[in-house]
Amino acid sequence: MIPGEVQVAEGDIELNVGCPTVSVTVANHGDRPVQVGSHYHFYEVNQALVFERELSLGWRLDIAAGTAVRFEPGQARTVTLVPYAGKREVYGFQGKVMGKLETQG
């Protein structure tokens, strides 16, 4: 092995296997593109994105870490969300939760 080398398993790596998912149709009603990162709390995304927001409390995009989905003005698309795992605590973002998800809603 060479220092700094990364060795990966052969074949495809499946993400979030066995996690529950929900599909949400999202429309950008704003006049600018909105990009949402892989681990951003979807409930707290830009208000120009219109969708059933209550369904997304405690959920994030089901995409590879470090990637994002871009919503162009006037565009509507369906995305898949997965729930936050671990302690299920959310802090930061727009400050709408700031604690345990089970006490929200």
* Domains present along the chain, CATH in parentheses: 22-85+96-103 (2.10.150.10)
Sign of CA dihedral 46, 52, 57, 58: negative
Among 26, 29, 33, smallest CA distance to 74 is for 29
In the predicted model, residues of the chain with pLDDT beneath 70 are: 103-105
**pLDDT (0 to 100) of residue 103:** 65
Question: What predicted TM-score, i.e. pTM, was given to this entire model?
Answer: 0.82
Sign of CA dihedral 96, 102, 103, 104: positive
**pLDDT (0 to 100) of residue 24:** 97
Contact between residue 26 and residue 70 where contact means Cβ atoms under 8 Å apart: no
Q: Quote the distance between the C-alpha of residue 71 and its chain's center.
A: 13
C-alpha 79/C-alpha 23 separation (Å) is 6
**pLDDT (0 to 100) of residue 21:** 94
